């Protein structure tokens, strides 16, 4: 536990709660609400008494719907025979996955910049986090990954679309990574929480080409259900079996009401929200691209922006003094040269924040 520290994101979240009407571009939380269809199903479930434990692996009808989704997306003829586990958010899935698969001393590779949870959970399991740099363009370099592999490497974590950079990996990049993982017999954990948010190219998953992929997705970002704590996992059966066993002794099961709502959410077309976020992405790039040398994000709802002067913590402090909340890059990286901006905000709020950041630059 001494290897962990309080999340820099959470510190800003707590700071925002104490400020009067801040321009909050810090937290990765959709600004749209849960679809009404999902709300209605959840309300009916509560009133009808569907408030008890479910099976640890989740409701059968939701797992069946996920099998159908995987058969359509990946062409898996055996999709219904594969195991599916409904988790308490993708965060819960990450905890189960890493505690299940990482032994003390095992090395786990992931791109730098990275989602903060990866390094902390690997440390919690006694493993060794190995961030592999992707600066300046945030593209995965298979040669750098290969150079980082040792006889202690057990897992490679992928996150596309990525938090905090917004990078979306191409099919060619994923195929090359799959070939590398196969040569070294690595487990790939693919965190695909932002799969719906791809703006310039179709979404691609390494699970289509690499059998030893542990796939994690969820409903928090795609359907605005961050507080409902609902995600899912599929992958190699022996790993899913142990993750399910560990869930019995930790989370017990994902929230029953959220499982019902998630099934309803799967039938909702979220295209209008995705299009709105593409437009917000363009607002950010138009405002900051030239001034800050911003690499255009292809997905999720973040921009990882180069800090004027090269000191992100110092620049973020100035932004906060001007009522704009963003996150310094050292929260996500071994470097502190960039800051993360979330454009999951109302257009007016986003525009005000962009104008202040430009003025500060």
Full set of structural domains in the chain with CATH = 8-30+270-360 (3.90.1150.10), 37-265 (3.40.640.10)
Nearest to 307 by CA among 317, 296, 298, 299: 317
Helix axis angle, 116-124 to 89-101, nearest 10°: 40
Query: What pLDDT does residue 248 have?
Result: 97
Query: What pLDDT does residue 20 have?
Result: 78
Rounded to a whole number of angstroms, the distance between the first and last alpha carbons of the chain is: 38
Query: What pLDDT does residue 231 have?
Result: 98
**Residue whose tokens read 């979220």:** 270
Distance CA 191, CA 291 (A): 32
Distance CA 115, CA 131 (A): 11
Nearest to 135 by CA among 165, 115, 170: 165
- Tens of pLDDT, residues 212-249: 999 999 999 999 999 999 999 999 999 999 999 999 99
- Tens of pLDDT, residues 171-181: 999 999 999 99
Q: What percent of the chain has pLDDT over 90?
A: 93
Query: What pLDDT does residue 232 have?
Result: 98
Residue 9 above 70 pLDDT? no
- Tens of pLDDT, residues 331-342: 999 999 999 999
- Tens of pLDDT, residues 23-63: 999 988 999 999 999 999 999 999 999 999 999 999 999 99
- Tens of pLDDT, residues 255-285: 999 999 999 999 999 999 999 999 999 999 9
Residue 11 above 90 pLDDT? no
Nearest to 111 by CA among 178, 156, 166, 170: 156
Secondary structure of residue 176 in the 3-state scheme? helix
Residue 18 above 90 pLDDT? no
Q: What percent of the chain has pLDDT over 70?
A: 98
Query: What pLDDT does residue 17 have?
Result: 72
What are the DSSP E strand ranges found in 279-353?
Answer: 302-306, 324-325, 327-328, 338-342
Secondary structure of residue 312 in the 3-state scheme? helix
Of 282 and 18, which is predicted with more confidence? 282
Average pLDDT over the chain, rounded to an integer: 95
Residue 10 pLDDT level (bands cut at 50, 70, 90): low
Residue 123 above 90 pLDDT? yes
Query: What pLDDT does residue 13 have?
Result: 67
Query: What pLDDT does residue 4 have?
Result: 80
Distance CA 324, CA 81 (A): 49
- Tens of pLDDT, residues 70-115: 999 999 999 999 999 999 999 999 999 999 999 999 999 999 999 9
Q: How many helices (H) and strands (E) does the chain have?
A: 12, 12
């Amino acid at each position: 536990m001494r290897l962990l520290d309080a999340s820099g994101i959470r510190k800003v979240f707590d700071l925002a709660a104490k400020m009067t009407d801040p321009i909050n571009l810090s937290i990765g939380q959709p600004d749209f609400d849960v679809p009404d269809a999902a709300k209605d199903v959840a309300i009916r479930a509560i009133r009808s008494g569907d408030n008890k434990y479910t099976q640890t692996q989740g409701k059968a009808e939701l797992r069946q719907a996920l099998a159908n989704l995987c058969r359509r997306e990946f062409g898996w003829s055996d999709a219904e025979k594969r195991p599916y586990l409904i988790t308490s958010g993708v965060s819960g899935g990450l905890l189960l996955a890493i505690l299940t698969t990482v032994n003390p001393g095992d090395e786990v590779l992931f791109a730098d910049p990275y989602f903060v949870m990866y390094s902390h959970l690997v440390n919690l399991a006694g493993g060794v986090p190995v961030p592999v740099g992707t600066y300046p363009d945030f593209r995965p370099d298979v040669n750098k990954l290969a150079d980082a592999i040792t006889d202690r490497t057990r897992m490679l974590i992928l996150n596309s679309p990525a938090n905090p950079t917004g990078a979306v990996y191409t099919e060619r990049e994923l195929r090359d990574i799959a070939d590398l993982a196969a040569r070294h017999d690595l487990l790939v954990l693919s965190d695909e929480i932002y799969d719906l948010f791809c703006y310039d190219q179709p979404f691609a998953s390494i699970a289509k080409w690499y059998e030893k992929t542990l796939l994690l997705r969820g409903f928090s970002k795609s359907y605005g259900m961050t507080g409902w704590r609902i995600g899912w996992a599929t992958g190699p059966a022996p790993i899913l079996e142990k993750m399910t066993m560990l869930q019995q002794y930790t989370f017990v099961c994902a929230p029953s009401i959220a499982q019902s709502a998630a099934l309803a959410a799967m039938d909702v077309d979220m295209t209008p929200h995705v299009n709105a976020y593409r437009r917000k992405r363009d607002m950010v790039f138009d405002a900051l691209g030239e001034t800050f040398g911003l690499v255009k994000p292809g997905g999720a709802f973040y921009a990882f922006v180069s800090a004027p002067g090269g000191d992100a913590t110092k620049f973020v402090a100035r932004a906060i003094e001007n009522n704009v909340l963003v996150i310094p890059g050292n929260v996500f990286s071994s470097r502190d040269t960039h800051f993360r901006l979330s454009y999951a905000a109302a257009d007016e709020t986003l525009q005000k924040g962009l104008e202040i950041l430009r003025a500060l630059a």
